Amino acid sequence: MLAGKKIAIGISGSIAAYKIIHLVRLLVKQKAVVKVIMTPSARDFVSPLTLSTLSKNEVLIDMASGNTWANHVELGRWADLLLIAPLSCNTLAKMAQGHCDNLLLSVYLSATCPVMVSPAMDEDMWQHPATQKNIGILKKFGHTVLAPHHGELASGLIGEGRMEEPEMILAHIQSFLGDTTDKSLEGKNVLVTAGPTYEAIDPVRFIGNHSSGKMGYALAKECRRRGATVTLVLGPAPAVLEQDLSDITLIKVTAAEEMYQACMDHFESADIALMAAAVADYRPAAVSDTKIKKQESGLELNLVKTRDILAALGAIKTNRQVLLGFALETNDEEAHALEKLHKKNADYIVLNSLNDGAAFGADTNKVTVFTKTGEKFGFASKSKQAIAKDILDIIVKTDITTI
Ligand code: CTP
C-alpha cells in the first residue's frame, strides 16, 4: 500500500525514539523508501547504525560530514511525507519559532511535503501553556499532530504524553498517503458507533467501561477513505479520537439512551451501520439529583436494562441496509457470537475473544467475522486500522444485501 512512497523520518531526543526502530521496519515491510534524520541528542537514545541498517539508507545527523554538505533542501523536496517522531518539547518549540540549529530543523524548514508530528514528553511538559501554544502553531501551519496518549511515561509517572504506538503511526501514514483510488463506498451513507457509554448514578458518578473507541474510529475513517458519507456516534472516548475527523459528522453522546436516539435518527438514511460501541447493558433505575452521601451500611443500586441498539436497528432494517455488530466473548466464543448475529438480525458479527488477547484500549486485535449466510473469515492479530480495512473488504465483496 505504501510501495514506493518516500518517507523522511526526523527523530528528536526522547526515550520514545526506540519505538522508531519498529516503525522503520513496518514501513520498509510496506515497501516504503525511508530516510532517517536525527537531532544530535536523539543519538543518545537510539543507534544510527540500527536505523541505517533497517532503512537501508544512511542516517543523517550533521549539517556536514567530512567534506560533504548534507543537502537539506533536496531531502525536504524528495519526501512525500516528513514525519517527526518522537517530537520532543525542545524540537517542537524550535519548529514553532523557526529556529534552525541542526540538520533536522533545516530539513523541516525547507520541506515542501506534508508534515506529521508525534509528540512524546512528560505530562506536565505536554500540558504547559507554552507547549500547547506551540502545538497550536504547528496545527496552524497545517501539520498533522498525532496527539499523545495517556499511559506510563519515562519518568515513571502515569499521564498524558506517551507517543502514539508505531502500528498506529503506520496506520495514520497509510490513511494519509494511502490508496485514494479505492472508492468502493462512494455514494453510501455509513453510520458508526464507537466508545463506551456512561450511565449516571448521581451528578458525579457513573457506570461505564474501558472501551477506547479506537475500533469504531478506525472503521469511520476507513469508510471515509473509501468515499462514504460517514456519521460517527461517539461515546465518552479520549479526546484523541476527535482529531483527524475531517469530513466525518461527529455526534458526541454520553449515555446508552442518547446513543440509541442518535442511531434511530440517522439509521433510515444509512446504507451501512457498524455498531462498534461497547454500550452499557444496564443503567441505574433512578439518577439522584444530588451527590449520594456515604452511609454506614452498603449501597444497593437498582439497575434496569438499556435498549439494545443493534437489536433495535436489526428489527427495522430493510433489505438494502447492511448491519454489522461486534461480540466480545470470554467463553464459547463462536456460539455466542452466532447467537448475537441471529438474535439481533445483523448481517455480520465481528468476534473478538478475550482469550485471543483482545483488550480494551489496545491498538491491535484479532478478530473473526461471521456472515448471516454462514461464511467465516479469520484474521491474524493486526492494527485496528487494518482490521477496519478487512471488515470493509468483506462487506464490499460479499454484498449480502443482494442475497
Ligand atoms: N449493543 C448495542 N446496544 C446494547 C448492547 C450492545 O447496540 N445495549 C451492540 C454492541 O455495539 C455490539 C453488539 O451489540 O455490536 C454486541 O455487544 P456485546 O456487549 O458483545 O453483547 P451484549 O448483547 O451486550 O451481550 P452480553 O454482554 O451478554 O455478551
Question: Which of the four pLDDT bands, split at 50, 70 and 90, describes residue 402?
Answer: very low
Average pLDDT of 164-188? 85
| DSSP run (H or E) holding 9 | strand 6-11
> Relative to the CA of 344, which ligand 1 atom is closest?
14
The 10s digit of each residue's pLDDT in 60-118 is 998 876 667 767 778 888 999 999 999 999 999 999 999 999 999 999 999 988 899 99
Residue 403 has pLDDT above 50, yes or no: no
3-state secondary structure of 295: coil
Best mutation site among 305, 340, 369 for ligand 1, i.e. most ligand atoms within 8 A of its Cβ? 340
Q: Ligand 1 centroid vs 328 CA: distance in angstroms?
A: 8
Give me the percent of the chain exceeding a pLDDT of 90.
71
DSSP states of 107-159: HHHH--S-EEEEE---HHHHHSHHHHHHHHHHHHTT-EE---EEEE-TTS-EE
Model's pTM, two decimal places? 0.70
> Looking at per-residue confidence, does 207 or 155 come out higher?
207
Q: If we measure between CA atoms, which residue out of 88, 85, 134, 84 comes closest to residue 107? A: 84
Q: Ligand 1 centroid vs 340 CA: distance in angstroms?
A: 8
- Residue position matching grid coordinates 520514545: 16
Residues in contact with ligand 1 by the CB-under-6-Å rule are 193, 256, 275, 277, 279, 281, 306, 308-310, 325-328, 340
Q: Ligand 1 centroid vs 383 CA: distance in angstroms?
A: 22
Residue 154 has pLDDT above 90, yes or no: no
Give the C-alpha separation, 240 to 237, whole Å. Answer: 8
| DSSP run (H or E) holding 166 | helix 166-177
> Relative to the CA of 263, which ligand 1 atom is closest?
7
Nearest residue (CA) to ligand 1, atom 3: 308
Best mutation site among 281, 329, 345 for ligand 1, i.e. most ligand atoms within 8 A of its Cβ? 281
> Relative to the CA of 281, which ligand 1 atom is closest?
8
Total residue length of the chain: 403
3-state secondary structure of 204: coil
* Per-residue pLDDT at 153: 79
Domains in the chain, please, with CATH?
6-177 (3.40.50.1950), 189-398 (3.40.50.10300)
Give me the percent of the chain exceeding a pLDDT of 70.
94
Best mutation site among 199, 210, 308 for ligand 1, i.e. most ligand atoms within 8 A of its Cβ? 308
Strands (E), 333-374: 348-353, 364-365, 367-371
Q: At what angle do helices 89-97 and 103-110 cross, to 10 degrees?
A: 40
- 331 assigned to active site: no
Give the C-alpha separation, 119 to 96, whole Å. Answer: 13
Amino acid at 308: D
Number of C-beta neighbours around residue 150 at 10 A = 14
Half-sphere exposure of 159 (CA within 13 A, CB side): 13
Residue 361 has pLDDT above 50, yes or no: yes
238-243 contacts at long range (C-beta below 8 A, 24 or more positions apart): 238/149, 238/150, 238/212, 238/213, 239/147, 240/147, 240/149, 241/194, 241/195, 241/212, 241/213, 241/214, 241/217, 243/145, 243/146, 243/147
Tell me the sheet residues that pair with 119: 87
Catalytic residue among 57, 209, 302, 352: 209
The 10s digit of each residue's pLDDT in 58-74 is 999 988 766 677 677 78
> Looking at per-residue confidence, does 158 or 301 come out higher?
301
Cα end-to-end span (Å), the chain = 31
Residue 48, preceding bond cis, omega within 30 degrees? no
Question: Which of the four pLDDT bands, split at 50, 70 and 90, describes residue 160?
Answer: confident
Residue 43 has pLDDT above 80, yes or no: yes
Q: What is the mean pLDDT of the chain?
A: 91
